[in-house]
Structure 1
Amino acid sequence: MVWQGDNFGIALKALARAIEPDRPALVQGGRIVGWSQLDSLTDRIAAGLTARGLKPGDVAGQMLRNTPDYILAYFGCIKAGVTPVNVNYHYKDRELADIFSRFGLKALFVESDFANSAGAAMPDGALTIDVGSTGWADLQSSVAPPDFAPHDHKQALFFTATGGTTGMPKAVMWPFEAAWQAFGISVWQRGMGEPPLVATSLEEQAAEAAKIGPDHPASTSPLLLLSPLMHGAGQFSAVIHLLKGGTLAMLPSEKFDADLTIDEVKRLGARNLFMVGDAFALPLADALDARDDAVDAMKSLRMVTSSGAVFSESNKMRLIKHNPQLMVFDALGSSESSGTAIVITTAAGSSGGGKFQALPGRSTKLFDADLNEIKPGEDGIGIVARSGPLPLGYLGEDEKNAKTFPEIDGQRYLMTGDQARWGADGTMEFIGRDNMCINTGGEKVFPEEVEAVLQEHAGVKDVRIVSLPDPRFGRKVVAVVQPDGDADGLQEALDTAAREGLAGYKIPRTYFFTDTSLRLNNGKPDYKAAQAIANEG
């Protein structure tokens, strides 16, 4: 039987046995957790959870910021056979009580400043572990029995909670083996033009991880993770990197700080940054432009990877300006799909002319609303769908699962909700999210497409496209703009840019200017705030 991947807990232990014990696995400021320590601590946490009555299949949440404790709790759960799930620490009591009940939480790892509200929302009899308390220290001091072995079922699950952009958050059920394949964990990239190595056993995966240490030319470590671990994009990136034996670094700060990021890249010699589009790239580019040491600070970086939000071409180039050897990977993905398509940008330009291209190794197609395929070369906007390794679906959401994971011609697909059309060259041009589409006079307008045009103007810090009622067309397109400096003359300049780059029905009919952030705390676009500004006039 062909090896397709493994349980993440079993894999972590195999890698830890192969890797030199003191190789850093987790770094945050002065705190360093080596690979041997990562393995032993997660063994102890697993043993402690078992001793406290948790059983394989029970669900435990991580309501934690980006710290080593998040990773320790995550892999400790997995080694015990407990299903981990990310919990958004911005949620309030009502939201927490809802997801704790629907996800069936039996335990929760939580930061001290969230502990009271989280504890009150937890089901009766559930275990709450404050990572700032002696209870967390006691758990890490648990004694693992001599015959301890991590839970080893490849079809065991981890949950990834969605961000709730299409309703209340849902738990995506990922079997480890399917996730291993979807994430490409066994794939080791070689030099330009060379085929990648694909590990065919856990032993080969561990040997490759041991060989490619931090000083190896092919290493992408340290990876400085900026995206929150409480979201799928950050969580997936962290897991992939660690299951390749990498070093995962996190900012020694509760919130993103652009100057601190630059300082940490320089201090660590980071080779990779993971972020969420323009929400991170724009302030990072601004900070780099203002510093005299920008080129020196960025010289270690080989790549910047982004997923989960729009990443404008102009901001990619602003980062590359400070390191012309930099490669920027802009991935189209979700909690349900991992990656679906990608654009790679270098100083020479972007792959596919800046259009997303389907990732290899999976069947990516476009379907219309009736699930008829739109083939390359055919006109029309469709929903991006892919087959290949997929999650089981959403926990307890039979109706949603039938719509999101339909079977078409005997093949199970994920309907991502992303809208795209085929370019003449066979590349996929991403348009926007189906649920954000504006219908104006029967024409569909995708906010992201209009935003991308307006965002290119130097006077725009951020922009959201929403709509307002219109007596003739039903809805009219409206731009809510956060200017970068003086807004004098900006509306006229943006109108000109829109008319040059967009069809007439996509042009904003009204502009509103605001100093309010148009982003959520996780860096994703805040359309509710923008709509409220437009509604108030």
Structure 2
Amino acid sequence: MTATVSALLADKDAGSNAIGAPGRMWLSYGALRALAAEVEADLRRFGIGAADRVAIVLPNGPEMAAAFVAIAQAAVTAPLNPAYQETEFSFYLQDLRAKAIVVPEGYDGPALAAAASLGMAILRLHSDLAGPAGQFRLTGAAGATPAPAGRPGPNATALILHTSGTTSRPKIVPLLQSNLVASAANIGTSLALTPADRCLNVMPLFHIHGLIAAVTASLAAGGSVWCAPGFDALKFFAWMKEARPTWYTAVPTMHQAILSRAARNRDVIEAHPLRFLRSSSASLPAQVMLELADTFKAPVIEAYGMTEATHQMACNPLPPRAQKPGSVGVAAGPRLGIAHEVENRLVDGTGEVVISGPNVTPGYEGNPDANAKNFFEADGLRWFRTGDQGALDEEGYLRLTGRLKEIINRGGEKISPLEVDGVLLDHPAVQQVVAFAMPHPKLGEEVAAAVVLREGQSATEREIRDFCAARMADFKVPRRVVILDEIPKGATGKLQRIGLAEKLGLGQPA
């Protein structure tokens, strides 16, 4: 089979459900294929060719999912966070060299202003709420000359995303048609997805996790994806009741919010049993994995992914194999290795996690320095450095110690923030935690932690620090514990360690 998004959908049963949403009829595979053909014809009429880049700025939901899948069969997709400000849109649209932008009918926000100032083609997406979920049409000005017909091949770029860029300028990650197909197949194999499976998607669809794990992998397996309009813990169980999913995928903070409302929704959980739950995009604390498994009476499959790998790299296996709390599982698609953190060679023990495989980006765009730093050849393979530190156990399960740039260096003592998280989460009053480095005038860095307490529970900073001191070496005990109502999160719901000390005004050197 040709490794393209178009070929991925070509053999699916035309009458089967593909995309759903709250209160909407289902969009079938046949209708999705017809939509893709219409979109392709429209884009060519607008002067958009197979190699041209189309930014997509749409709210979460079925239209965003359908637009991504349809446009990816005809051009290069570049989904962007609708919450960006105009200056951010200007930066990303210029950096991406996007030729056109897709915005909702009637939209008059900052993305439009940025695109107009850059002279980009403006394409309006018109949806019909009375029609099937995700059905839409595009309108725009016809191009001076229509673009040539033809769909992109396996080696053409299908999707462009930026790295998160917490400490530096974000890098451009081009992902090929073949990368998307390989990753969707890897996820489908890991989760044993079939046409009978249905994913309830609550992940943002400008991010690799939702785009590939929820949408593309579901469609590649001939299953269905039910698209919520974003994440809302208050509505999750009502959506579960309506969607009747066999699984959902989320980041740990979302799982924790769902758990906080699970007790009052036991009837829904029992009436609509899940085959499994999936977690990715940040480390899932062992305590949360065990609580989820007990609450939903289903295996919790933690996966390890990143944009440069078109999402999935490792995954805890389904039963009868073990789901190891605190581990991100075994190699799940690409080859997995451990490399020396400085030298370009593979090592045993703890080191930098590296991957090699057909789902890995060919390289950052226009950034030879980053490519030289992040890719190397060894043992006849081209390896990508993930920036994560970890080790493989005797059964091949990967345990991460943290992002290399997040490891806390306290006067030469290296401390894993994930280890500190794990101890703090054992405190009966602690619901959520993120350990991080704060500046120290003599040691360079010191350990700090932000925590959210469980509803109805109380604890002081001193009590939490004493709890840690009884369970770990003194140099690992947080010198500051900040108790918050909510820990600041990134756009995808991930807790962010880097920059948290500054956000909280902690540890400014004297």
The answer to whether TM tops 0.5 is yes
TM-score by structure 2 length? 0.87
Tell me the equivalent position of 2:78. Answer: 85
1:157 counterpart = 2:160: no
Instruction: Report what 1:139 is aligned to.
Output: 138
Task: State yes or no: 1:283 paired with 2:257.
Answer: yes
1:330 is displaced (CA, Å) by 0.6
Aligned match of 2:144: none
| AA of the residue aligned to 1:6 | A
CA–CA distance in 1 between the matches of 2:39 and 2:395?
52
CA contact (8 A) 1:418 1:434 kept: yes
CA distance in 1, matches of 2:322, 2:226: 28
Task: State the 1:518 CA deviation.
Answer: 2.7
The CA deviation at 1:226 is 1.2
CA contact (8 A) 1:41 1:140 kept: no
Number of the residue aligned with 2:428: 458
Task: Say whether the 8 Å CA contact 2:346–2:378 is kept in structure 1.
Answer: no
The residue identity in structure 1 corresponding to 2:372 is A
Aligned to 1:245: 222
User: Quick one: which of 12, 17, 34 aligns to 2:28?
Assistant: 34
Q: Secondary structure at the match of 2:261?
A: helix
- Alignment equivalent of 1:370, drawn from 333, 342, 353: 342
**Partner in structure 2 of residue 110 of structure 1:** 103
- Counterpart of 2:250 in structure 1: which amino acid? M
What do residues 459-500 of structure 1 show as CA deviations (whole Å, max 9, x unaligned)? 223222223333442221111222224664343443344335
**Match for 1:53: what amino acid?**
G
Unmatched segments (≥5 aa) in structure 1: 143-147, 191-195, 197-208, 214-218
Question: Is residue 304–residue 329 contact of structure 1 (8 Å, CA) maintained in 2?
Answer: yes
Task: Assess if the C-alpha contact under 8 Å between 1:111 and 1:132 holds in 2.
Answer: yes
Provide the secondary structure at the position in 1 that maps to 2:337: strand
Contact 1:438 1:444 in 2 (8 A): yes
Residue 232 of structure 1: how far off its partner (Å):
0.7
Q: Secondary structure at the match of 1:498?
A: helix
Q: CA RMSD in A?
A: 3.1
| Amino acid of the structure 2 residue aligned with 1:272 | W
CA distance in 1, matches of 2:335, 2:69: 31
Q: Give distance in 1, aligned partners of 2:506 and 2:326.
A: 34
**Partner residue in 2 for 1:385:** 354
C-alpha separation between the residues in 2 aligned to 1:124 and 1:282?
Answer: 42
SS at match of 2:239: helix
Q: 2:312 aligns with which of 336, 339, 353?
A: 339
Match of 2:327 among 343, 355, 359: 355
Report deviation, 1:530. Answer: 5.1
Partner of 1:9: 6
Identity %: 24
SS at structure 2 position matched to 1:60: strand
SS at the partner of 1:383? strand
1:257 correspondence with 2:229? no
Q: Report deviation, 1:78.
A: 2.5
Q: How many residues align?
A: 490
Which letter does structure 2 place at the counterpart of 1:369? Answer: E
1:51 and 2:45 aligned? yes
Task: From the superposition, tell whether residues 65 and 150 of structure 1 become closer, same or farther in structure 2 (CA, over 3 Å).
Answer: farther
Distance 1:340 1:11, change over 3 A: closer
8 Å Cα contact 1:328/1:344 also seen in 2: no
Equivalent residue, structure 2, for 1:101: 94
- Supply the AA of the counterpart residue of 1:120: A
Q: Which amino acid aligns with 1:387?
A: S
Q: How far, CA to CA, are the matches of 2:473 and 2:184 in structure 1?
A: 37
The normalised TM-score by structure 1 is: 0.83
If each structure's helix is expressed as a fraction of its own residues, which one has the higher value? 1
Determine the C-alpha separation between the residues in 2 that align with 1:101 and 1:343. 39
**SS of the residue aligned with 2:223?**
coil
SS state of the match for residue 100, structure 1?
helix
Of stretches 452-461 and 107-116 in structure 1, the one that deviates more from structure 2 is 107-116
Shift in Å at residue 303 of structure 1? Answer: 1.1
One-letter code aligned to 2:277: V
Partner SS for 1:336: helix
Q: Does 1:319 align with 2:292?
A: yes
Match of 1:398 in 2: 368
**Partners in 2 of 1:361 and 1:137 — Cα distance?**
34
| SS of structure 2 residue aligned to 1:356 | coil
Q: Which residue of 2 aligns with 1:482?
A: 452
1:291-325 deviation digits (Å, cap 9, x = unpaired) = 352442442x111111101222222232222332x
**Contact in 1 for aligned 2:44/2:149 (Cα 8 Å):** no
- Equivalent pair of 1:466/1:530 in contact (CA under 8 Å): yes
